[in-house]
Amino acid sequence: MSILMVLLVRDEEDIVYENLMFHLEMGVDHIIATDNGSDDRTRDILAEFERLGVMTLIDEPGRDHSQWRWVTRMARMARDVFDATWIIPNDADEFWLPTGGSYRAVLENFGADVLKCHRFNMVGAYSDSDQAPWYETVRYRIAKPIEAQVPKNYLNETIDHPHFYRALDGKVLVKARHLKYIREGNHSAVFDREVIQQETDSVVVYHFPVRSRSQFESKITNTAVSYSRNTELPTNIGWHQRRWYHLLKSKGLEESFRAAVPTEDQFNKDVASGILIEDSEIGRILGKFPGRISEFT
């Protein structure tokens, strides 16, 4: 059995090292990463992992958010070049935790072709979120997510809850054989034959979308501008990113930030009421790793 991870990144220097270390520790055999023209140190970090022989690095200069195409290209490489059995289509802010100790131990027990893995949003005490390491602050899981529809007027409609309190769709972990492509957002995949899909808690995905105000501003700006250049995707794809960017330009960073995450007062109230619960499992694992790639080598 060969387990590969494919990773599309841009300007994720604050989290990409931890992401790569974590998934290698959990049992990924090789990583294929696409850097989408990062302006920070992201590509340098990726290049160090490539130098170690655990990663194949692709440069993608496109700026039209053709995410599904770029992810599918990596997935097909994982299948055809590296003979992958399973593929984890990942984002830099997601950590796929195998509850059985390792991916190999978990995946040996499944006959399904697609595993739909449950995903949790993680938030933190954002008055402190610019202090490192981020995983010591962003350690609260949304225990009571809100089921809500996409607003019709998502740019201007008032929404009475932080976006990351909303329930999340899961992500798919897929077998490589017969794979045709992975759909936008890594929520589903298409095969050249009928396949078996199974929901599972044997692998759960921890999502750390906001680690600091500066990271949030960079992320929504990059993503929203890329969406605006893509003429294929419906405008409701990435609606929340488009909304935050609209708020950023019209009302400023703080208004945009408050639309995504709780204020400090709301955070404290929701911890006390159990809407947010402390979950430091990912941070516990990350805390074991050396702080620099040179120490890892």
pLDDT at 293: 58
Question: What pLDDT, on a 0 to 100 scale, did the predictor assign at position 252?
Answer: 95
Closest-CA residue to 114 (of 186, 30, 14)? 186
Q: What angle do CA 19, 270, 155 make, to 5 degrees?
A: 70
Angstrom CA distances, 71 to 56, 58, 98, 130, stand at 14, 11, 22, 30
pLDDT of residue 83: 98
pTM: 0.93
pLDDT at 63: 83
pLDDT single digits (tens) 38-94: 999 999 999 999 999 999 999 999 888 789 999 999 999 999 999 999 999 999 999
Q: Please tell me the predicted confidence (pLDDT) of residue 295.
A: 52
The pLDDT of residue 126 is 67
- If 0-12 CB within 10 Å is exposed, 13-18 middle and 19+ buried, where does residue 134 land? buried
270 DSSP 8-state letter:
H
Spatial distance between the Cα atoms of 120 and 26, rounded to a whole number of angstroms: 18
| Per-residue pLDDT of the chain in tens (297 residues, 90 and over written 9) | 999 999 999 999 999 999 999 999 999 999 999 999 999 999 999 999 999 999 999 999 988 878 999 999 999 999 999 999 999 999 999 999 999 889 999 999 899 999 999 999 999 876 544 566 899 999 999 999 999 899 999 998 989 999 999 999 999 999 999 999 999 999 999 999 999 999 999 999 999 999 988 899 999 998 887 878 887 888 888 899 999 999 999 999 999 999 999 999 999 999 999 999 999 999 999 998 886 555 554
Q: Is 136 exposed, middle or buried (0-12, 13-18, 19+ CB in 10 A)?
A: middle
